[in-house]
Amino acid sequence: MTTIIGIGGTLSPHSRNLAALEHALQSATAAGAQTELYSVFDLQLPMLDPHKVWEDYGPTVHQLVEAMRRADGLIISTAAYHGTMAGVTKNALDYAEFLSGGPTPYWHNKVVGLIATASGTMAGPNTLTGLTHVVHALRGVVVPLMVAIPDADNAIDREGHVTDNHWANRLAQLGHLVVTMAQQLNSVQAL
């Protein structure tokens, strides 16, 4: 079975980008994938220190890194902060450094979907471009559909429901596309 993990959220318990990620993961589940959600709020990851070794980190770091290792694909959701991704998102992604060794380092040939949300009107280009650069540096494959939700306070309610049909449909398409592309890539690699 195809495994898709979602990484997202903020340090707020009412993160709109986490709600968007959950919506996309529901679609991935409906498309036949096993999904797992990794909320940065719940993980409370320490800042990555390149001088520390694997054993220096606790169970939440180990859980996230092992999930990245076994995943066929990922969906990453971030808040747009000051023209790029939230620092807490970048910190979570930096833990992929522990996957640097071996014949398929980092996210080699893993399919990745991207979501950005903002309270204002500038959710998209810079944030998604920054995320794309990180995914490419980690050798991942970004799906061609990305979702940037501006004015997320009006598209996603406080309870985490995506109330705007346009954005709900785009998130559902993204979740489905990540599963489909991961399955196709896996079948080609198996040849």
Give 91-117 pLDDT, tens digit per residue: 999 999 999 988 889 999 999 999 999
C-alpha distance across the termini of the chain, in Å: 17
Q: What local confidence, expressed as pLDDT, does residue 83 receive? A: 84
Is this structure's pTM higher than 0.85? Answer: yes
Q: Classify residue 96 by its DSSP letter.
A: G
Q: What local confidence, expressed as pLDDT, does residue 82 receive? A: 85
Domains and CATH numbers, the chain: 3-189 (3.40.50.360)
Whether 108 and 146 have beta carbons less than 8 Å apart is answered as: no
Residue type, 49: D
Residues of the chain short of pLDDT 50, as ranges, are none
Distances (CA, A) of 8 to 15, 83, 102, 113, 173: 9, 17, 27, 12, 18
Q: What local confidence, expressed as pLDDT, does residue 188 receive? A: 77
Whether 180 and 118 have beta carbons less than 8 Å apart is answered as: no
Q: What local confidence, expressed as pLDDT, does residue 187 receive? A: 80
Cβ-based neighbours of 117, under 8 Å, separated by 6 or more: 16, 17, 20, 77, 78, 79, 80, 123, 148, 149, 152, 156
Residue type, 101: G
